[in-house]
Amino acid sequence: MFKWIKDKFSKDNEKENSEDLIEENLEEISDENIDLENDHMEKISDEEKEKTVIQDFDTQLEKETTSDEEIEENSYGSKKDEIIEEEKPSLFKRLKSGLLKTRKEMGVKINTILGAYVKIDDDLLEDLEDILISADIGMNTTMKIIDNLRDTIINEKINDPSLIKDLLKAETKKIMITEKSSNLNISEKSVILVVGVNGVGKTTSIGKLCAKFRNEGKSVLIAAGDTFRAAAIEQLKEWGNRANVDVIAQSEGSDPAAVIFDAIKAAKSRNIDVLICDTAGRLHNKSNLMKELEKISKIIDREYPEATRETLLVLDATTGQNAMNQAKTFKEATDISGIILTKLDGTAKGGVVIALQSELDIPIKLIGVGEGIDDLQKFDVDSFVEAIFE
């Protein structure tokens, strides 16, 4: 009996000890797990912290980007207006900028001369004459302006040099006024024939004209009448693609008159508003090429009599008085209705505009004062004179 009790007690102790051992082991395992978990959590915490910083940076960057985009796209406040105003200055500001070289040659020099005199005399008038001639206004036009200025000074008994500049501007405007309109003669159906020597900017001017008319909501078609110059047709097609305008063309070396004939038929069938006809650059002293121009002009008159007609002569302002000689010869060959004067921004010889307008009685209708698509501007006498004399 005693042995059974002893054995029982011994077994109970072993069981108890075993349970205690198991419990201790469980506690140790639990503690180890907790330590591992804590270590793991610390690692996770560090990783999460780094991840959170990156996420916060990305979020902030996204917010800033979104904020910038919102300001750019959705804000119509002063910032946006200021940006637009800086990128798109007024027509007059762009004109002034484009005529900077001519203004330095005329306006700035005139201011310097007038500041050196205390009274008006012949020496002052001679100095003014030299400045006008140096700006390529030409001898005839310069003498006309100075003679009229002298008469005004005598008649109105003016002796203050500070008044000369306004008088000079007024006399210049007077001789530039023409009865012929400086507006393009465009109606529901119009044809513009573009002529000029090589290298004056005919193709570029045609491209800018296309953009101008397309912006006005007009349908436009181009006739690639320059079949002689290499790559002329490809250049026109490139401008046509930019302005979303079709080009009627034949192979290189084809008869230009045939191209114009096909283009007129296409313009009629498609109900086109404006047909712009390019022509080969031709020297004004080559009689055979000038006769070809007459032939093209007759085809337009015969095949499209209902269309209003413009024949625009493109001249390069950088050639100065040579542009005057070109204009005189072209005027003899065909009826020039207006002039496009290009590259005014690249020359100090902008005074040739005054000579062209006053001596030839051909209105200048458009002037190029930069390379931008909007830099082919409508010519206005008042704005031009103010810009070069300022």
Annotated binding site for GTP: 196-203, 278-282, 342-345
Quote the CA–CA distance of 155 and 175 in Å, as a whole number.
Answer: 19
Cα–Cα nearest to 172, from 377, 340, 381: 381
Which residues belong to the annotated binding site?
A: 196-203, 278-282, 342-345
Exposure class string for 165-188: b at 16+ Cβ within 10 A, else e: bebbbebbeebbeeeeebebeeee
Q: Are 230 and 266 in contact (CB under 8 A)?
A: no
Q: Are 356 and 314 in contact (CB under 8 A)?
A: no
Quote the CA–CA distance of 70 and 72 in Å, as a whole number.
Answer: 5
**Would you tell me how many other CB atoms lie within 10 Å of the CB of residue 214?**
16
Q: Are 338 and 362 in contact (CB under 8 A)?
A: yes
Joined tokens for residue 189: 């159906």
Specify the DSSP element, H or E, that contains 311: strand 308-316
Joined tokens for residue 131: 């400045």
Question: How far from chain centre, in Å, is Cα 339?
Answer: 20
Close Cβ partners of 149 (under 8 Å, ≥ 6 residues apart)? 125, 128, 164, 167, 168, 171
Cα–Cα nearest to 382, from 182, 111, 113: 182
Joined tokens for residue 387: 């810009």
Quote the CA–CA distance of 300 and 311 in Å, as a whole number.
Answer: 11
Q: CA-CA distances (angstroms) from residue 307 to 267, 301, 347?
A: 11, 9, 36
Q: Which residues on neighbouring strands pair with residue 117, listed in sequence order?
A: none
